[in-house]
Structure 1
Amino acid sequence: MNLDGLRVAVTGAGRDSGRLLATAFADHGAHVFVSARNEAAAEHTAESIRQRGRGTGEAFACDLASPDSVRAFAAALADRTDHLDVLVNNGAGYLHGENVDDVEDNDIITTIGGTATGTVLLTKPVLALLRGSARPDIVNMISACGEVGQHRADAHPAFYAAKRAQAGFAEIMSHRLRVEGIRVISLFPPDFVQHGPRAAYGNLTAQSVMDCVLFAVSQPRDCFIREFRFEQVVGPRPGTPTAGLR
Protein backbone atom coordinates (compact mmCIF):
# COMPACT_ATOMS: atom_id res chain seq x y z
CA MET A 1 0.00 0.00 0.00
CA ASN A 2 1.45 3.36 -1.03
CA LEU A 3 0.05 6.48 0.63
CA ASP A 4 3.03 8.69 -0.21
CA GLY A 5 2.23 12.36 0.24
CA LEU A 6 -1.25 11.79 1.63
CA ARG A 7 -2.18 14.48 4.15
CA VAL A 8 -3.98 13.00 7.13
CA ALA A 9 -5.29 14.51 10.38
CA VAL A 10 -5.91 12.17 13.32
CA THR A 11 -7.54 13.29 16.57
CA GLY A 12 -6.91 11.52 19.85
CA ALA A 13 -3.55 10.33 18.52
CA GLY A 14 -1.54 10.74 21.68
CA ARG A 15 -1.86 7.13 22.81
CA ASP A 16 -3.22 3.64 22.17
CA SER A 17 -5.19 3.08 18.96
CA GLY A 18 -4.98 6.73 17.89
CA ARG A 19 -1.19 6.62 18.05
CA LEU A 20 -1.20 3.28 16.23
CA LEU A 21 -3.39 4.69 13.46
CA ALA A 22 -1.31 7.84 13.00
CA THR A 23 1.86 5.75 12.86
CA ALA A 24 0.31 3.30 10.40
CA PHE A 25 -0.59 6.10 7.98
CA ALA A 26 2.94 7.49 8.25
CA ASP A 27 4.49 4.06 7.73
CA HIS A 28 2.77 4.02 4.35
CA GLY A 29 4.18 7.42 3.39
CA ALA A 30 1.59 9.91 4.65
CA HIS A 31 2.18 13.25 6.32
CA VAL A 32 0.17 13.10 9.54
CA PHE A 33 -1.17 16.02 11.54
CA VAL A 34 -1.23 14.44 14.99
CA SER A 35 -3.56 15.95 17.57
CA ALA A 36 -4.27 15.12 21.18
CA ARG A 37 -5.66 16.88 24.22
CA ASN A 38 -2.16 16.76 25.68
CA GLU A 39 0.27 18.36 23.21
CA ALA A 40 3.22 16.50 24.76
CA ALA A 41 1.49 13.19 23.97
CA ALA A 42 0.89 14.33 20.40
CA GLU A 43 4.55 15.31 20.09
CA HIS A 44 5.57 11.88 21.35
CA THR A 45 3.59 10.28 18.52
CA ALA A 46 4.99 12.72 15.95
CA GLU A 47 8.54 12.06 17.13
CA SER A 48 7.97 8.32 16.86
CA ILE A 49 6.80 8.86 13.28
CA ARG A 50 9.87 10.90 12.46
CA GLN A 51 12.19 8.28 13.92
CA ARG A 52 10.57 5.51 11.87
CA GLY A 53 11.68 7.43 8.82
CA ARG A 54 9.11 7.03 6.07
CA GLY A 55 6.21 9.40 6.59
CA THR A 56 6.26 12.67 8.53
CA GLY A 57 4.30 14.04 11.45
CA GLU A 58 3.42 17.32 13.14
CA ALA A 59 1.95 17.64 16.63
CA PHE A 60 -0.95 19.84 17.77
CA ALA A 61 -3.01 20.28 20.89
CA CYS A 62 -6.74 19.74 20.38
CA ASP A 63 -9.19 19.28 23.23
CA LEU A 64 -12.35 18.17 21.46
CA ALA A 65 -14.44 19.21 24.46
CA SER A 66 -13.30 22.83 24.00
CA PRO A 67 -14.74 24.68 20.98
CA ASP A 68 -11.90 27.21 21.12
CA SER A 69 -9.30 24.43 21.01
CA VAL A 70 -11.08 22.73 18.09
CA ARG A 71 -11.20 25.99 16.14
CA ALA A 72 -7.52 26.63 16.84
CA PHE A 73 -6.57 23.20 15.53
CA ALA A 74 -8.67 23.67 12.38
CA ALA A 75 -7.03 27.08 11.82
CA ALA A 76 -3.57 25.56 12.30
CA LEU A 77 -4.35 22.94 9.65
CA ALA A 78 -5.46 25.65 7.22
CA ASP A 79 -2.21 27.53 7.87
CA ARG A 80 -0.09 24.48 7.02
CA THR A 81 -1.85 22.92 4.05
CA ASP A 82 -4.18 23.88 1.22
CA HIS A 83 -5.91 20.52 1.32
CA LEU A 84 -6.49 17.49 3.51
CA ASP A 85 -6.98 13.99 2.15
CA VAL A 86 -8.17 12.17 5.26
CA LEU A 87 -9.74 13.37 8.50
CA VAL A 88 -9.87 10.69 11.19
CA ASN A 89 -12.33 11.53 13.97
CA ASN A 90 -10.82 9.21 16.55
CA GLY A 91 -10.64 11.23 19.76
CA ALA A 92 -13.19 10.38 22.47
CA GLY A 93 -12.96 9.89 26.20
CA TYR A 94 -14.39 6.59 27.45
CA LEU A 95 -16.67 6.91 30.46
CA HIS A 96 -17.27 4.04 32.89
CA GLY A 97 -20.38 3.63 34.99
CA GLU A 98 -23.48 1.45 34.84
CA ASN A 99 -25.83 3.99 36.34
CA VAL A 100 -26.49 7.55 35.21
CA ASP A 101 -25.65 8.88 38.67
CA ASP A 102 -22.29 7.08 38.84
CA VAL A 103 -20.44 10.13 37.49
CA GLU A 104 -20.43 13.89 37.94
CA ASP A 105 -22.29 16.25 35.61
CA ASN A 106 -19.04 17.67 34.23
CA ASP A 107 -17.95 14.17 33.17
CA ILE A 108 -21.18 13.77 31.21
CA ILE A 109 -20.77 17.18 29.56
CA THR A 110 -17.16 16.45 28.63
CA THR A 111 -17.96 13.00 27.25
CA ILE A 112 -20.82 14.09 25.03
CA GLY A 113 -19.17 17.38 24.08
CA GLY A 114 -15.79 15.88 23.26
CA THR A 115 -17.20 12.99 21.26
CA ALA A 116 -20.31 14.27 19.50
CA THR A 117 -20.03 18.06 19.48
CA GLY A 118 -16.27 17.95 18.95
CA THR A 119 -16.66 15.75 15.87
CA VAL A 120 -19.17 18.16 14.33
CA LEU A 121 -17.19 21.29 15.20
CA LEU A 122 -13.97 19.94 13.71
CA THR A 123 -15.52 18.46 10.58
CA LYS A 124 -17.28 21.74 9.79
CA PRO A 125 -14.20 23.90 9.06
CA VAL A 126 -12.05 21.04 7.79
CA LEU A 127 -14.53 20.33 4.99
CA ALA A 128 -13.01 23.22 3.02
CA LEU A 129 -9.62 21.46 3.10
CA LEU A 130 -11.17 18.12 2.19
CA ARG A 131 -12.89 19.69 -0.81
CA GLY A 132 -9.44 20.70 -2.05
CA SER A 133 -8.35 17.04 -2.20
CA ALA A 134 -8.65 14.75 -5.21
CA ARG A 135 -9.42 11.83 -2.87
CA PRO A 136 -11.12 13.07 0.33
CA ASP A 137 -12.15 10.70 3.11
CA ILE A 138 -13.64 11.23 6.57
CA VAL A 139 -13.12 8.30 8.93
CA ASN A 140 -15.17 8.11 12.12
CA MET A 141 -14.00 5.74 14.84
CA ILE A 142 -17.37 5.34 16.52
CA SER A 143 -17.91 2.20 18.65
CA ALA A 144 -20.39 -0.62 18.93
CA CYS A 145 -22.02 1.66 21.51
CA GLY A 146 -23.22 3.69 18.53
CA GLU A 147 -25.23 0.74 17.19
CA VAL A 148 -28.94 0.60 17.94
CA GLY A 149 -29.72 -2.34 20.23
CA GLN A 150 -26.13 -2.99 21.34
CA HIS A 151 -25.95 -3.34 25.13
CA ARG A 152 -22.76 -5.33 25.69
CA ALA A 153 -20.34 -2.59 26.73
CA ASP A 154 -20.08 -1.51 30.36
CA ALA A 155 -19.79 2.13 29.30
CA HIS A 156 -21.76 4.88 31.00
CA PRO A 157 -25.08 5.81 29.35
CA ALA A 158 -23.60 9.19 28.42
CA PHE A 159 -20.95 7.42 26.34
CA TYR A 160 -23.71 5.48 24.56
CA ALA A 161 -25.50 8.79 23.94
CA ALA A 162 -22.35 10.41 22.58
CA LYS A 163 -21.62 7.55 20.21
CA ARG A 164 -25.22 7.36 18.95
CA ALA A 165 -25.03 11.09 18.20
CA GLN A 166 -21.71 10.64 16.41
CA ALA A 167 -23.19 7.78 14.37
CA GLY A 168 -26.19 9.91 13.38
CA PHE A 169 -23.91 12.71 12.22
CA ALA A 170 -21.78 10.28 10.20
CA GLU A 171 -24.82 8.76 8.52
CA ILE A 172 -26.31 12.01 7.28
CA MET A 173 -22.91 13.36 6.23
CA SER A 174 -22.25 10.21 4.21
CA HIS A 175 -25.54 10.74 2.37
CA ARG A 176 -25.02 14.45 1.73
CA LEU A 177 -21.33 14.39 0.84
CA ARG A 178 -21.54 11.38 -1.48
CA VAL A 179 -22.48 13.63 -4.41
CA GLU A 180 -19.22 15.57 -3.88
CA GLY A 181 -17.09 12.43 -3.95
CA ILE A 182 -16.25 12.72 -0.25
CA ARG A 183 -16.37 9.29 1.37
CA VAL A 184 -17.54 9.04 4.98
CA ILE A 185 -16.33 5.78 6.52
CA SER A 186 -17.49 4.75 9.99
CA LEU A 187 -16.25 1.91 12.18
CA PHE A 188 -18.28 0.34 14.99
CA PRO A 189 -15.83 -1.89 16.86
CA PRO A 190 -16.76 -3.51 20.15
CA ASP A 191 -14.33 -3.20 23.05
CA PHE A 192 -10.96 -4.31 21.68
CA VAL A 193 -7.48 -4.96 23.01
CA GLN A 194 -4.32 -3.13 22.01
CA HIS A 195 -2.34 -6.36 21.67
CA GLY A 196 -3.19 -10.02 21.46
CA PRO A 197 -3.44 -13.03 19.17
CA ARG A 198 -5.40 -12.25 16.03
CA ALA A 199 -7.44 -15.43 16.21
CA ALA A 200 -11.06 -16.23 15.41
CA TYR A 201 -11.97 -16.77 19.07
CA GLY A 202 -9.77 -14.04 20.51
CA ASN A 203 -10.66 -10.44 21.22
CA LEU A 204 -10.65 -7.97 18.37
CA THR A 205 -7.27 -6.22 18.26
CA ALA A 206 -6.44 -2.60 17.58
CA GLN A 207 -4.28 -3.67 14.64
CA SER A 208 -7.23 -5.35 12.95
CA VAL A 209 -9.32 -2.20 13.36
CA MET A 210 -6.49 -0.10 11.92
CA ASP A 211 -6.14 -2.47 8.96
CA CYS A 212 -9.82 -1.88 8.14
CA VAL A 213 -9.22 1.87 8.03
CA LEU A 214 -6.18 1.59 5.76
CA PHE A 215 -8.02 -0.83 3.48
CA ALA A 216 -11.01 1.49 3.11
CA VAL A 217 -9.06 4.67 2.33
CA SER A 218 -6.82 2.86 -0.16
CA GLN A 219 -9.73 1.72 -2.34
CA PRO A 220 -10.45 3.29 -5.75
CA ARG A 221 -12.88 6.17 -5.72
CA ASP A 222 -15.77 4.13 -7.07
CA CYS A 223 -15.69 2.07 -3.86
CA PHE A 224 -17.64 3.74 -1.05
CA ILE A 225 -17.36 1.61 2.08
CA ARG A 226 -19.73 3.35 4.45
CA GLU A 227 -19.44 1.18 7.56
CA PHE A 228 -17.51 -1.59 9.26
CA ARG A 229 -19.48 -3.55 11.84
CA PHE A 230 -17.89 -6.33 13.85
CA GLU A 231 -19.06 -9.54 15.49
CA GLN A 232 -18.13 -10.03 19.13
CA VAL A 233 -16.95 -13.22 20.77
CA VAL A 234 -20.07 -14.45 22.57
CA GLY A 235 -19.28 -18.06 23.42
CA PRO A 236 -16.52 -20.61 23.90
CA ARG A 237 -14.34 -21.95 21.13
CA PRO A 238 -15.98 -24.99 19.43
CA GLY A 239 -15.00 -28.15 21.29
CA THR A 240 -14.41 -26.33 24.59
CA PRO A 241 -16.17 -28.05 27.52
CA THR A 242 -19.23 -26.02 28.51
CA ALA A 243 -19.97 -27.54 31.93
CA GLY A 244 -20.69 -24.71 34.32
CA LEU A 245 -21.07 -22.10 31.57
CA ARG A 246 -24.32 -20.19 31.36
Structure 2
Amino acid sequence: MIVEEERDLTGLRVVVTGAGRDTGRTLATALAERGAHVFVSARDPAAAERTAEAIARGGVGTAEPFRCDLADHVSVRGFAASLAARTDRVDVLVNNAAAYLSVPDLDGVDDDAIAATIGATATGTVLLTKHVLPLLRASARPDIVNLVSACGEVGHHRSAAHPAYYAAKHAQAGFAEILSHRLRPEGIRVISLFPPDFVQDGPRAADGPLTARSVVECALFAIGQPRDCFIREFRFEQHRPRDGSSVADE
Protein backbone atom coordinates (compact mmCIF):
# COMPACT_ATOMS: atom_id res chain seq x y z
CA MET A 1 0.00 0.00 0.00
CA ILE A 2 2.83 2.41 0.82
CA VAL A 3 4.49 1.60 -2.50
CA GLU A 4 1.29 2.41 -4.39
CA GLU A 5 0.95 5.77 -2.60
CA GLU A 6 4.52 6.65 -3.50
CA ARG A 7 3.88 5.79 -7.15
CA ASP A 8 0.76 8.00 -7.30
CA LEU A 9 1.70 11.37 -8.78
CA THR A 10 -1.84 12.59 -9.34
CA GLY A 11 -2.03 16.35 -9.58
CA LEU A 12 1.69 16.97 -9.89
CA ARG A 13 2.78 19.42 -12.57
CA VAL A 14 5.92 18.19 -14.26
CA VAL A 15 8.21 19.66 -16.92
CA VAL A 16 10.21 17.24 -19.07
CA THR A 17 12.73 18.54 -21.60
CA GLY A 18 13.71 16.53 -24.65
CA ALA A 19 10.44 14.63 -24.37
CA GLY A 20 9.83 14.20 -28.08
CA ARG A 21 11.52 10.81 -28.33
CA ASP A 22 13.44 8.02 -26.62
CA THR A 23 14.18 8.41 -22.91
CA GLY A 24 12.41 11.77 -22.60
CA ARG A 25 9.26 10.38 -24.10
CA THR A 26 9.43 7.34 -21.83
CA LEU A 27 9.83 9.65 -18.83
CA ALA A 28 6.91 11.86 -19.81
CA THR A 29 4.65 8.88 -20.47
CA ALA A 30 5.57 7.16 -17.20
CA LEU A 31 4.89 10.32 -15.21
CA ALA A 32 1.51 10.74 -16.88
CA GLU A 33 0.65 7.09 -16.24
CA ARG A 34 0.95 7.92 -12.54
CA GLY A 35 -1.44 10.85 -12.83
CA ALA A 36 0.85 13.82 -13.44
CA HIS A 37 0.14 16.71 -15.77
CA VAL A 38 3.22 16.89 -17.98
CA PHE A 39 4.50 19.94 -19.80
CA VAL A 40 6.22 18.20 -22.70
CA SER A 41 9.00 20.14 -24.40
CA ALA A 42 11.13 19.33 -27.41
CA ARG A 43 13.17 21.19 -29.98
CA ASP A 44 10.82 19.82 -32.63
CA PRO A 45 7.25 20.94 -31.77
CA ALA A 46 5.75 18.11 -33.83
CA ALA A 47 7.62 15.57 -31.70
CA ALA A 48 6.33 17.23 -28.51
CA GLU A 49 2.79 17.05 -29.91
CA ARG A 50 3.16 13.34 -30.68
CA THR A 51 4.21 12.63 -27.09
CA ALA A 52 1.31 14.68 -25.73
CA GLU A 53 -1.12 12.85 -28.02
CA ALA A 54 0.21 9.46 -26.88
CA ILE A 55 -0.30 10.53 -23.26
CA ALA A 56 -3.85 11.64 -24.04
CA ARG A 57 -4.60 8.22 -25.52
CA GLY A 58 -3.40 6.63 -22.28
CA GLY A 59 -6.30 8.22 -20.45
CA VAL A 60 -4.63 8.74 -17.05
CA GLY A 61 -2.50 11.86 -16.78
CA THR A 62 -2.55 14.83 -19.14
CA ALA A 63 0.03 16.71 -21.19
CA GLU A 64 0.68 19.95 -23.05
CA PRO A 65 3.30 20.24 -25.81
CA PHE A 66 5.80 23.09 -26.07
CA ARG A 67 8.76 23.95 -28.24
CA CYS A 68 12.02 24.56 -26.39
CA ASP A 69 15.44 24.62 -28.02
CA LEU A 70 17.94 24.63 -25.18
CA ALA A 71 20.65 25.93 -27.52
CA ASP A 72 18.58 29.09 -28.07
CA HIS A 73 18.44 31.41 -25.04
CA VAL A 74 15.38 33.19 -26.40
CA SER A 75 13.58 29.86 -26.80
CA VAL A 76 14.44 28.88 -23.23
CA ARG A 77 13.11 32.13 -21.79
CA GLY A 78 10.02 31.89 -23.98
CA PHE A 79 9.28 28.37 -22.76
CA ALA A 80 9.65 29.44 -19.13
CA ALA A 81 7.34 32.38 -19.75
CA SER A 82 4.78 30.07 -21.35
CA LEU A 83 4.90 27.84 -18.30
CA ALA A 84 4.38 30.81 -15.98
CA ALA A 85 1.35 31.79 -18.04
CA ARG A 86 -0.12 28.27 -17.82
CA THR A 87 0.55 27.31 -14.20
CA ASP A 88 1.24 28.87 -10.82
CA ARG A 89 3.74 26.16 -9.88
CA VAL A 90 5.98 23.38 -11.15
CA ASP A 91 6.41 20.39 -8.86
CA VAL A 92 9.08 18.55 -10.83
CA LEU A 93 11.55 19.77 -13.45
CA VAL A 94 13.22 16.98 -15.38
CA ASN A 95 16.34 18.16 -17.21
CA ASN A 96 16.57 15.36 -19.74
CA ALA A 97 17.40 17.07 -23.04
CA ALA A 98 20.99 16.95 -24.28
CA ALA A 99 22.79 17.30 -27.58
CA TYR A 100 24.71 14.07 -28.18
CA LEU A 101 27.71 13.77 -30.50
CA SER A 102 28.76 10.23 -31.37
CA VAL A 103 32.04 11.16 -33.11
CA PRO A 104 34.89 10.33 -30.68
CA ASP A 105 37.61 12.50 -32.26
CA LEU A 106 37.90 16.11 -31.10
CA ASP A 107 38.47 17.30 -34.66
CA GLY A 108 35.76 15.07 -36.09
CA VAL A 109 33.01 17.72 -35.99
CA ASP A 110 32.90 21.42 -36.78
CA ASP A 111 32.98 24.27 -34.28
CA ASP A 112 29.25 24.96 -34.50
CA ALA A 113 28.40 21.38 -33.49
CA ILE A 114 30.72 21.61 -30.49
CA ALA A 115 29.24 24.94 -29.40
CA ALA A 116 25.70 23.65 -29.84
CA THR A 117 26.42 20.52 -27.80
CA ILE A 118 27.83 22.42 -24.85
CA GLY A 119 25.37 25.27 -25.20
CA ALA A 120 22.24 23.10 -25.21
CA THR A 121 23.35 20.53 -22.66
CA ALA A 122 25.15 22.75 -20.14
CA THR A 123 24.12 26.38 -20.61
CA GLY A 124 20.58 25.49 -21.64
CA THR A 125 20.06 23.35 -18.54
CA VAL A 126 21.34 26.12 -16.26
CA LEU A 127 19.19 28.80 -17.89
CA LEU A 128 15.99 26.75 -17.92
CA THR A 129 16.44 25.77 -14.27
CA LYS A 130 17.03 29.42 -13.40
CA HIS A 131 13.86 30.58 -15.13
CA VAL A 132 11.68 27.74 -13.78
CA LEU A 133 12.99 28.12 -10.22
CA PRO A 134 10.30 30.64 -9.16
CA LEU A 135 7.61 28.12 -10.15
CA LEU A 136 9.44 25.35 -8.26
CA ARG A 137 9.61 27.57 -5.18
CA ALA A 138 5.82 27.90 -5.37
CA SER A 139 5.43 24.11 -5.04
CA ALA A 140 4.89 22.30 -1.75
CA ARG A 141 7.09 19.42 -2.94
CA PRO A 142 9.62 20.63 -5.51
CA ASP A 143 12.10 18.29 -7.22
CA ILE A 144 14.72 18.88 -9.91
CA VAL A 145 15.78 15.72 -11.74
CA ASN A 146 18.89 15.76 -13.93
CA LEU A 147 19.62 13.01 -16.45
CA VAL A 148 23.36 13.53 -16.46
CA SER A 149 25.30 10.48 -17.76
CA ALA A 150 28.32 8.52 -16.64
CA CYS A 151 30.20 10.83 -19.02
CA GLY A 152 29.88 13.37 -16.21
CA GLU A 153 31.74 11.16 -13.73
CA VAL A 154 35.39 11.76 -12.97
CA GLY A 155 37.50 9.06 -14.60
CA HIS A 156 34.80 7.73 -16.90
CA HIS A 157 36.18 7.03 -20.38
CA ARG A 158 34.12 4.14 -21.74
CA SER A 159 31.71 6.04 -23.97
CA ALA A 160 32.41 6.81 -27.61
CA ALA A 161 30.85 10.26 -27.19
CA HIS A 162 32.64 13.37 -28.41
CA PRO A 163 34.81 15.25 -25.86
CA ALA A 164 32.37 18.16 -26.06
CA TYR A 165 29.63 15.87 -24.73
CA TYR A 166 31.89 14.83 -21.87
CA ALA A 167 32.57 18.51 -21.14
CA ALA A 168 28.87 19.35 -21.16
CA LYS A 169 28.00 16.47 -18.85
CA HIS A 170 30.74 17.41 -16.38
CA ALA A 171 29.26 20.91 -16.37
CA GLN A 172 25.81 19.48 -15.63
CA ALA A 173 27.22 17.37 -12.81
CA GLY A 174 28.92 20.36 -11.20
CA PHE A 175 25.78 22.44 -11.54
CA ALA A 176 23.64 19.74 -9.95
CA GLU A 177 26.03 19.26 -7.04
CA ILE A 178 26.14 22.91 -5.99
CA LEU A 179 22.41 23.31 -6.62
CA SER A 180 21.65 20.39 -4.32
CA HIS A 181 23.71 21.95 -1.55
CA ARG A 182 22.23 25.44 -1.91
CA LEU A 183 18.58 24.53 -2.46
CA ARG A 184 18.20 21.87 0.21
CA PRO A 185 17.46 24.45 2.96
CA GLU A 186 14.42 25.45 0.89
CA GLY A 187 13.23 21.84 0.67
CA ILE A 188 14.01 21.58 -3.04
CA ARG A 189 15.47 18.17 -3.85
CA VAL A 190 18.01 17.90 -6.65
CA ILE A 191 18.21 14.33 -7.96
CA SER A 192 20.86 13.38 -10.51
CA LEU A 193 21.23 10.16 -12.48
CA PHE A 194 24.53 9.05 -14.01
CA PRO A 195 23.61 6.14 -16.30
CA PRO A 196 26.42 4.51 -18.26
CA ASP A 197 25.96 3.26 -21.81
CA PHE A 198 22.37 2.07 -22.13
CA VAL A 199 19.78 0.98 -24.67
CA GLN A 200 16.21 2.14 -25.20
CA ASP A 201 14.71 -1.37 -25.15
CA GLY A 202 15.89 -4.73 -23.93
CA PRO A 203 15.14 -7.77 -21.78
CA ARG A 204 16.16 -6.01 -18.53
CA ALA A 205 18.22 -9.03 -17.51
CA ALA A 206 21.28 -9.20 -15.25
CA ASP A 207 23.48 -10.14 -18.20
CA GLY A 208 22.08 -7.41 -20.46
CA PRO A 209 22.72 -3.67 -20.73
CA LEU A 210 20.89 -1.05 -18.72
CA THR A 211 17.60 0.00 -20.34
CA ALA A 212 15.97 3.42 -20.53
CA ARG A 213 12.97 2.06 -18.65
CA SER A 214 15.14 1.12 -15.67
CA VAL A 215 16.70 4.59 -15.65
CA VAL A 216 13.23 6.14 -15.72
CA GLU A 217 12.05 3.96 -12.84
CA CYS A 218 14.98 5.14 -10.71
CA ALA A 219 13.84 8.72 -11.27
CA LEU A 220 10.24 7.82 -10.42
CA PHE A 221 11.38 6.07 -7.25
CA ALA A 222 13.25 9.15 -6.04
CA ILE A 223 10.40 11.53 -6.88
CA GLY A 224 7.98 9.33 -4.96
CA GLN A 225 9.92 9.28 -1.71
CA PRO A 226 8.74 11.17 1.40
CA ARG A 227 10.10 14.68 1.76
CA ASP A 228 12.64 13.75 4.42
CA CYS A 229 14.41 11.53 1.86
CA PHE A 230 16.94 13.42 -0.25
CA ILE A 231 18.38 11.02 -2.81
CA ARG A 232 21.09 13.11 -4.43
CA GLU A 233 22.51 10.69 -6.99
CA PHE A 234 22.06 7.36 -8.74
CA ARG A 235 25.31 5.72 -9.88
CA PHE A 236 25.24 2.56 -11.99
CA GLU A 237 27.61 -0.28 -12.80
CA GLN A 238 28.89 -0.31 -16.38
CA HIS A 239 27.58 -3.25 -18.39
CA ARG A 240 30.31 -5.62 -19.54
CA PRO A 241 29.19 -8.00 -22.31
CA ARG A 242 30.84 -11.39 -22.48
CA ASP A 243 32.94 -10.32 -25.46
CA GLY A 244 34.30 -7.30 -23.57
CA SER A 245 32.68 -4.71 -25.82
CA SER A 246 30.21 -2.05 -24.71
CA VAL A 247 27.03 -0.48 -26.04
CA ALA A 248 26.76 3.17 -26.99
CA ASP A 249 24.99 5.81 -24.95
CA GLU A 250 21.62 6.88 -26.33
TM-score norm. by structure 1 comes to 0.95
Match for residue 239 of structure 1?
none
Match status 1:3 vs 2:4: no
Q: Secondary structure at the match of 1:25?
A: helix
Match for residue 226 of structure 1?
232
Q: Secondary structure at the match of 1:47?
A: helix
Match status 1:107 vs 2:113: yes
Match status 1:186 vs 2:187: no
Unaligned runs of 5+ in 1: 237-241
Q: Secondary structure at the match of 1:166?
A: helix
Distance in 1, Cα, partners of 2:104 & 2:218: 30
How far has the Cα of 1:43 moved from its partner? 0.3
Match status 1:94 vs 2:100: yes
Q: Secondary structure at the match of 2:65?
A: strand
Distance in 2, Cα, partners of 1:179 & 1:52: 37
2:26·2:216 contact (CA, 8 Å) conserved in 1?
yes
2:18·2:43 contact (CA, 8 Å) conserved in 1?
yes
Q: 1:13 aligns with which of 19, 27, 40?
A: 19
Match status 1:83 vs 2:89: yes
Distance in 1, Cα, partners of 2:94 & 2:160: 25
List, as ranges, runs of 4+ consecutive aligned residues in structure 1 with deviation greater than 3 Å. Answer: none
Distance in 2, Cα, partners of 1:4 & 1:97: 41
Match status 1:41 vs 2:19: no
Write out aligned runs for 1:175-214 (5 A).
Answer: 175-214=181-220
User: Share of identical aligned residues, percent?
Assistant: 71
Q: Secondary structure at the match of 1:88?
A: strand
How far has the Cα of 1:32 moved from its partner? 0.1
What code does the residue aligned with 2:133 have? L
Write out aligned runs for 1:161-172 (5 A).
Answer: 161-172=167-178
2:208·2:241 contact (CA, 8 Å) conserved in 1?
no
Q: Alignment RMSD, CA only?
A: 1.2
Q: Secondary structure at the match of 2:203?
A: coil
Q: Secondary structure at the match of 2:199?
A: coil
Distance in 1, Cα, partners of 2:52 & 2:197: 26
How far has the Cα of 1:140 moved from its partner? 0.3
Write out aligned runs for 1:30-179 (5 A).
Answer: 30-179=36-185
2:192·2:233 contact (CA, 8 Å) conserved in 1?
yes
Q: Secondary structure at the match of 1:207?
A: helix
How far has the Cα of 1:82 moved from its partner? 0.4
What code does the residue aligned with 2:175 have? F
Distance in 2, Cα, partners of 1:124 & 1:55: 26
How far has the Cα of 1:131 moved from its partner? 0.4
Q: Secondary structure at the match of 2:234?
A: strand
Decide which structure has the larger Cα Rg and report it: 1
Distance in 2, Cα, partners of 1:60 & 1:189: 26
How far has the Cα of 1:235 moved from its partner? 5.1
How far has the Cα of 1:232 moved from its partner? 1.1
How far has the Cα of 1:17 moved from its partner? 0.6
TM-score norm. by structure 2 comes to 0.94
How far has the Cα of 1:234 moved from its partner? 2.4
Distance in 2, Cα, partners of 1:131 & 1:181: 9
What code does the residue aligned with 1:82 have? D
